[in-house]
Amino acid sequence: MQLLFMGTPEFSVPTLDRLARGPHTIVEVITRPDAPQGRGRALQPPAVKLAAERLGLPVRQVESLRDETTISHVTSLAPDLIVVVAFRILPAEMLRIPHLGAINLHAALLPKYRGPAPIQRAIMDGEDTTGVTVFFLEPTVDTGGILRQRAVAIGRDETYGELSARLSEIGAEEIAAAVDDIAAGRARPVRQNEAHATSAPKLRKEDARIDWRLPAGRIRDLMRGTTPEPGAHAFWQGAPFPILRVDPASDAPAGAPGTIVIADPKRGVAVATGDGALWLTTVQPPGRRPMEGAAWARGARPQPGDRFE
CA dihedral sign, ordered 166, 172, 174, 177: negative
Q: Confidence class of residue 24 from pLDDT cuts 50, 70 and 90?
A: very high
Whole-number average pLDDT of the chain: 96
Secondary structure (3-state) at 219: helix
Residues in the chain: 309
Question: How much is the pLDDT for 195?
Answer: 97
Instruction: Please state which CATH class domain 205-300 belongs to.
Output: alpha beta
Question: How much is the pLDDT for 198?
Answer: 98
Question: How much is the pLDDT for 36?
Answer: 85
Which residues touch 218 (CB under 8 Å, ≥6 apart)?
126, 274
Q: What is the pLDDT of residues 238-268, one digit of tens each?
A: 999 999 999 999 989 999 999 999 999 999 9
**Residue 30 in this model has a pLDDT that exceeds 80:** yes
The CATH 3.10.25.10 domain(s) of the chain lie at 205-300
Strands 35-37 and 42-44: antiparallel
**Residue 130 in this model has a pLDDT that exceeds 80:** yes
**Mean pLDDT, residues 177-185:** 98
Question: How much is the pLDDT for 292?
Answer: 96
CA dihedral sign, ordered 262, 266, 267, 269: positive
Could you give phi then psi for residue 205, rounded to 5 degrees? -60, -40
Q: What is the pLDDT of residues 134-166, one digit of tens each?
A: 999 999 999 999 999 999 999 999 999 999 999
Q: What is the pLDDT of residues 98-107, one digit of tens each?
A: 999 999 999 9
**Mean pLDDT, residues 184-190:** 97
**Mean pLDDT, residues 11-22:** 98
Nearest to 208 by CA among 231, 184, 181: 231
Could you give phi then psi for residue 126, rounded to 5 degrees? 80, 20
Question: How much is the pLDDT for 150?
Answer: 98
CATH number of 2-196: 3.40.50.170
Question: How much is the pLDDT for 74?
Answer: 97
Give 55's strand partners: none
**Residue 39 in this model has a pLDDT that exceeds 80:** no
Residue 1: how many CB atoms within 10 A of its CB? 15
Instruction: Find out whether 271 and 247 touch, Cβ atoms under 8 Å.
Output: no
pTM of the model: 0.94
CA dihedral sign, ordered 203, 231, 104, 28: positive
Q: Confidence class of residue 271 from pLDDT cuts 50, 70 and 90?
A: very high
Q: Confidence class of residue 129 from pLDDT cuts 50, 70 and 90?
A: very high
Could you give phi then psi for residue 62, rounded to 5 degrees? -130, 145
The CATH 3.40.50.170 domain(s) of the chain lie at 2-196
Q: Confidence class of residue 309 from pLDDT cuts 50, 70 and 90?
A: confident
